Chain A
Amino acid sequence: MEILFIITTLFIVAVINLITKRKSIIEVASIIASLIYLVLSVAIALQVSSSGLYAPWSWQFFAIDDLGAIIVLVLGLVGFTTTIYSVQYLRQEMYKNIIGFKRMKQYFVLLNIFFAAMFLAITSSNPIFAWISIEATTLSTAFLISFYNKPSAVEGAWKYLIINSVGLLLGFFGTLLFFTSIDLSSAGLINWQLLTANATHLDPLLAKIAFVFVLIGYGTKVGLVPMHTWKPDAYSKAPAPIGALLSSALLPIAFVIILRYKAITDIVVGPLFSQRLFITFGLLSIVVAALIMFNAKNYKRLLAYSSIENAGVMVLGFAFGGLGVFAAVLHLIYHSCVKVVLFLSSGNLLLKYNSAKIFNIKGALKIIPVTSVLFIIGFLIVTGIPPFGMFMTKLYVLSSGMKEYPIVSLIALFFLALVFVSFLKYITTMFFGDKPDNIEKGENNIWLLIPQIFLVVVIIILSFYLPPFLHTLINNVVLQY
C-alpha cells in the first residue's frame, strides 16, 4: 500500500506542477510529496526490518529486501532535504533572473518524475521493469542537467544521455542473458526471486558474459572507471540539488541492481569471478578519481570525482565480503548524506560567488561562515576523518581486504590519503585567507542551510549510534551478500 501511495503521490504532484500557474502551489505540493515519501520510506524500512522481505501481491510487481529498504530510506531522506533546498535555491535564482517561472516549473515536474523513477527502479520485482525505470531516470534528468541551457550544460547533458543510454542498453543485453535460465514461454512475469531460484540452470560461461555486460551497463550509471566520463560533466552542470541527487540517490540504486546480479552470478560460478571484477573496477575508480582530484579546478567536478572514489570504496567492500559488506552499506548511507551536504553547500558558494572555479573562491569562511563550516565538516566526513562514521567504514573496508588482498588495500589506502591531501589543499584555498571586496558578506537564506545542518546531525548520530532497525537491515544484507 505504501508503495502505491508514494508512486501515486509523486505522479500526481508532477501533474499538478505541470498544470498549475502558481509558484507557491508547486513548492508546497513538492515539499508535501517529498515529506510523504520520507515518512512512508521510514515505515517501509521498519516493516522490512521487523518482518523481512516486503513483497505485496506475491512478488507480482514490487519487492523490497533489506538492501532495498535501506536505499528507499536513503531516498526518502535525501529526497526531502533536496526538495526543501530546491525551493529556496530556485527562488534565489529567479530573484537573480538566472531562471524564470517556466524553468522553475519544469524543474519540479522533472524532479518528481525522477523521484518516482528511482523509487520504481529499487522497488520493482521485475528486472526488466527495473531497467525501464533506470532508463526513465536518465530521461527525466537529461533536461535537469541542461537546465541552464548554456553550451557547456547542453554538452554535459548530451554526454550524459548518450553514454548512459549505451551503458543501459549493454545492461539490458546482460539482463536478457540472465533470463536464459528460465523457460519464458511458461514462466509469466519474471522476478528477482525466480531468477535467483533458477540460477543453477544458467550456463556458467553465459553467466560470466551476462554479468560483465550488467556490470559495464549499470556500472556506467554508478560511474565506475572507465565508464565515468559523463559524471563530472553532468554533476558540474546540473543545478546543485540535482548533482546531490545523482550522487546520493541514483548511484546507490544502480549499484544495488549490480549487486542483485552479482548474487545470481555467484550462485552459478562462485564468488571469485565477481570479486575480481569488483576489485578491478573498485580500485581503478579510487586511483583514477584520486589522481584527477589532485589537479581539480572546479569544486563541483571535485565532488563528482569524490563520488567516483566513494563508489570505488563501496565496490571494494562488497568484493572483500563479510565485515567489508557491513562497512560498505554503512559507507553508502554516510556517503549519500554527506554528498547532499557538500553539493548543497556548493550551491550556496555558487550563488554567492557566481563561479564554480576553485581559484575564484577566496575567504568564504568570512563571507558565508555557516555554509563554509558545513562544507568543511562535509570534507572531514567524506575524506574519512575520525570520529565521523566514514573513518570507520573506510578502515573496515580496507582491513577486511588486508588478509587476502593486502596490496589492493594498501594501494587504496594510499590513494584515499591522496584524496584527503587534495581536498585539504582546496579547502585551504577556498575558505581561508582574505575575502574579496566585491562580494557581499552574509548567507543567502536560512533555508539554504537547514537541510545540510539536518543531514550533518543525522551523520553524527549515525556515526555513534545505529538504530536497531537499521542494524538489523545491514546485518541481513551482510548475510545475503
Chain B
Amino acid sequence: MNLLTLQFLSQILLLSIVFLLIMKKNFSAVSAYSLQSLVVVIILLNSFFETKDMWMLLVILVMLIVKVILAPVFFIRLIRKYALAFSVSTYLSTPITLIIITILVFIAHSQKLIPLTRIVPDHQVLLSLALSSLFLSLFLIVNRKGALSQIIGILSFENSIVVFAVFANLEQSAALQLGIVFDIFIWIMIASVFISMLYKHFGTLNVSSMKNLKD
C-alpha cells in the first residue's frame, strides 16, 4: 500500500472522529466507530503484508471480530433495548466544537510536536494525522455528555494509538497485541454492562445528571 492510500485511510479515521463529535444519533456514532475500526484493520493488514507474520494475521482477525463486529453489535443492542436513538448533547455548541477541532488538528501538525511526528520521517504526514485523531478522540470524551459517546470516544482513542504505533513502527509482538485486544474486548463488555446499570439507575445516559457524589 503506498503512502497516499495510507494517508487516505488516516483521513477516514480522522473524519470519522470529527463526525462522532458532531453527530446527533447514536446509531450513526456506532456505524462511524465500526468504519474507523475497519480502517484500522486495513492499516494493520498492510503491515501484515510487509512482515508476513502469521500471528499478526490472527491478531487482525481477532481485532476485526472484536472491534468491527462484536462491539457495534453490543452497542446497537443497547440502543435498541433502551430506545436511545438520539445521543445526549455536547458541552460545547457545534460552532465552538468545530473551532476546537480545527485548533487541535493545527496543533497536531505544528512544529512543536515534530519530535512525535518525525519518529519515522517518511511518515510525518501519517503520524500528524494519527496524532490529530488522538487529540480529537480525547476531545470527544470530554465534550460529549452521553455515556455511550464517551465509551466510543475511548475506543476511538485506542484506535488512534494503534494507528500511530503502526505508522511509528512501534508495533508490539503478536502475543502482546492479542493481550491488548482481549483487554479491550473485556473493557467493551464491562462498559456495556455499566451503560445498562446507568440507564436503570438514572433513566438517562446523560452523565451530567449524575450528581450523587460531592465533597
A interface, CB within 8 angstroms of B = 126, 128-129, 132, 135-136, 139, 142-143, 146, 149-152, 154-159, 161-162, 165-166, 169, 172-173, 176-177, 179-180, 184-185, 188-189, 203, 205-206, 209, 232-233, 236-237, 292, 295-298, 301
Contacts and interface: CB of A to CB of B under 8 A. Distances in A.
Interface stretch (B29-37, B74-82, B180-188): B180-188
Contacts of B147: 158
Q: Which 5 A-B pairs have the closest CB atoms?
A: A152-B212, A205-B115, A151-B201, A155-B210, A206-B115
7 contacts: A135-B183, A155-B201, A158-B210, A166-B157, A176-B168, A177-B170, A301-B215
Given A173-B164, A205-B115, 10 more contacts: A132-B176, A135-B183, A139-B183, A158-B147, A158-B207, A161-B190, A166-B157, A184-B172, A236-B213, A298-B215
Contacts, number: 105
Interface stretch (B59-67, B86-94, B191-199): B191-199
B102 interface: no
Contacts of B168: 176, 180
B183 A169 contact: no
A295 to B, nearest CB: 7
A180 B116 CA distance: 10
Given A179-B170, A188-B173, A146 B197 contact: yes
A155 B212 contact: yes
A184 B169 contact: yes
Contacts of A297: 215
A143 B183 CA distance: 16
B181 to A, nearest CB: 10
Listed residue (A157, A169, A172, A206) with the most chain B CB atoms within 10 angstroms of its CB: A169
Nearest to B169: A184
A136 B173 CA distance: 19
A278 to B, nearest CB: 22
A290 to B, nearest CB: 13
Nearest to A149: B197
A176 B215 contact: no
A379 B171 CA distance: 48
Contacts of B154: 162, 165-166, 169
Contacts of A152: 212-213
Contact of B141 (A156, A166, A188, A295): A166
A169 B161 contact: yes
Contacts of A159: 213
Contacts of A135: 183, 187
A176 B212 contact: no
Contacts of A156: 213
Contact of B201 (A154, A236, A292, A298): A154
B116 A154 contact: no
B8 interface: no
B146 to A, nearest CB: 12
A206 B212 contact: no
A158 B194 contact: yes
Contacts of A205: 115
Given A128-B180, A206-B119, A169 B198 contact: no
A225 to B, nearest CB: 13
B115 A203 contact: yes
B165 interface: yes
B176 A129 contact: yes
A152 B213 CA distance: 6
B190 A142 contact: yes
A161 B201 contact: no
Contacts of A298: 215
B183 A132 contact: yes
Contacts of B176: 126, 128-129, 132, 189
